[in-house]
């Protein structure tokens, strides 16, 4: 899957997996309901457990033809031959990851300023993730990115920009004016009692 052909409308970003069967079921429901990109994020598991989870998730992503990105861990991405990697400020530098994964894998990078987004684009990022747009349980205390800065980031780069952080069906329309290419969702899908319905609701509001 070539980096430039991706539909970034709705990126599902996962949370810590405490029960692999339940976790895979939620992910599958969200992909079946139309999530367009899957980013596997696991900050507490051992390398072996993360690897085994990624091995289990990969065929689900394939089944729904959704690109599988691995958050932070290039080693896991290489080990399971994922479609790409997403790196934040505490992860490997963008240029280093691009060198190691080659030109055909997807590389996403977190940026909170237009300058950081431009640097990431120059170093090889295929898309930019920016946030947090709203207060979020996943990263408590993370500063909220002003809507006008998100709009500036979008205007500063050619690659797609995805907004992340506390986004729900109820607040996502406020992002529309920024012209970003998509929304990345964690809790509003992973913690939903009905992940399929939550995904459909977010997609229908975002894409209308």
Tell me, rounded to whole angstroms, the distance of Cα 31 from its chain centroid. 13
**Binding segment toward a second copy, per CB under 8 A, in 29-37, 71-79, 168-176, 192-200:** 71-79
24 near a second copy (CB under 8 A): no
72 near a second copy (CB under 8 A): yes
Strand partners, 69: 39, 84
Task: Please give the structure tokens belonging to residue 23.
Answer: 């976790």
Q: Which is nearer to a second copy, 45 or 147 (CB)?
A: 45
User: Going by C-beta distance under 8 Å and a sequence separation of 6 or more, which residues neighbour residue 74?
Assistant: 85, 92, 97, 100, 101
**Binding segment toward a second copy, per CB under 8 A, in 24-32, 42-50, 59-67, 108-116:** 42-50
Q: Which is nearer to a second copy, 79 or 144 (CB)?
A: 79
49 near a second copy (CB under 8 A): yes
Q: For residue 15, which of 41, 52, 45, 36 has the smallest C-alpha distance? A: 41
139 near a second copy (CB under 8 A): no
Minimum CB–partner distance for residue 104 and a second copy (Å):
17
User: Going by C-beta distance under 8 Å and a sequence separation of 6 or more, which residues neighbour residue 45?
Assistant: 16, 17, 53
149 near a second copy (CB under 8 A): no
Q: Cα–Cα distance between 2 and 19 in angstroms, integer?
A: 32
**Binding segment toward a second copy, per CB under 8 A, in 29-37, 41-49, 162-170, 197-205:** 41-49
Instruction: Write out 110-177 in H/E/C secondary structure.
Output: ECCCHHHHHHHHHHCCCEEEECCCCCCCCCCCCCCCCHHHHHHHHHHCCCCEEEECCCCCCCHHHHHH
Among 16, 20, 22, 47, binds a second copy (CB under 8 A): 47
Minimum CB–partner distance for residue 163 and a second copy (Å):
23
100 near a second copy (CB under 8 A): yes
Give the binding site for a second copy (CB under 8 A).
Answer: 46-49, 51, 72-75, 78-79, 89-93, 96, 100
């Amino acid at each position: 899957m070539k980096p430039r052909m991706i539909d970034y409308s709705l990126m599902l970003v996962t949370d810590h997996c405490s029960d692999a069967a339940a976790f895979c079921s939620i992910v599958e429901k969200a992909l079946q309901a139309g999530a367009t990109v899957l980013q596997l994020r696991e900050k507490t598991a051992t390398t072996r457990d993360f690897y085994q989870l990624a091995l289990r998730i990969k065929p689900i992503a394939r089944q729904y033809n959704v690109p599988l990105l691995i958050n932070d861990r290039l080693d896991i991405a290489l080990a399971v031959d994922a479609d790409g990697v997403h790196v934040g400020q505490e992860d490997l530098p963008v240029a280093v990851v691009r060198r190691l994964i080659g030109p055909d894998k997807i590389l996403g990078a977190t940026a909170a300023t237009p300058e950081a987004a431009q640097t990431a684009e120059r170093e090889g990022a295929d898309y930019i993730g920016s946030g947090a747009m709203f207060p979020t349980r996943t990263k408590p205390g993370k500063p909220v990115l002003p809507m006008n800065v998100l709009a500036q980031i979008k205007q500063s780069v050619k690659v797609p920009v995805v907004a992340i952080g506390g986004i729900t069906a109820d607040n996502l329309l406020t992002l529309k004016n920024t012209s970003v290419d998509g929304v990345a969702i964690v809790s509003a899908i992973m913690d939903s009692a009905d992940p399929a319905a939550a995904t459909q609701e977010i997609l229908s509001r975002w894409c209308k």
